[in-house]
Amino acid sequence: KAGVTQTPRYLIKTRGQQVTLSCSPISGHRSVSWYQQTPGQGLQFLFEYFSETQRNKGNFPGRFSGRQFSNSRSEMNVSTLELGDSALYLCASSSPSTGGRETQYFGPGTRLLVL
């Protein structure tokens, strides 16, 4: 099976712009989660989508949003970019199981640089 893919891999934007990142999960996986990784804050949970519905959300401002399509592919959008949004954005997919013990498999990430 192909792994989780993310596009683009690298992105440079300027403050005030908006950006859309894409994630294609492993075939058959219906849950997609997004994480932000920065040197200062480490890895932080952004949100999770399952069957086109946001199931959980982290503590990020409303500038961060996402969606999931019927084929489980997901996008996240950041509007009005700030310098502090520079980070590696990681997407993970999982297959539902009982008890919340599903394993998440990560993509290679999109590295966003905001100038």
Binding site for other proteins (CB under 8 A): 4, 31, 33, 35, 42-45, 48, 50, 55-56, 58, 90, 92, 94, 98-109
Report the distance separating Cα 13 and Cα 104, nearest Å. Answer: 29
Q: How far is the CB of 94 from other proteins (least distance, A)?
A: 6
**Residue 9 CB contacts under 8 Å (≥ 6 apart), including other chains:** 108, 109, 110, 111
Give the shortest CB-106-to-other proteins separation in angstroms.
4
Please identify, using beta-carbon distances, which residue of 47 and 78 lies nearer to other proteins: 47
> Measured from the CB atom, is 21 or 107 closer to other proteins?
107
Can you give 35-62 as a three-state secondary structure string?
Answer: EEEECCCEEEEEEEEECCEEEEECCCCC
Closer Cβ to other proteins, 28 or 42, answer by number: 42
Pick from 16, 93, 57: which is nearest to 66 by CA?
Answer: 57
Cβ nearer to other proteins, comparing 14 with 41:
41
Least Å distance between CB 38 and other proteins? 12
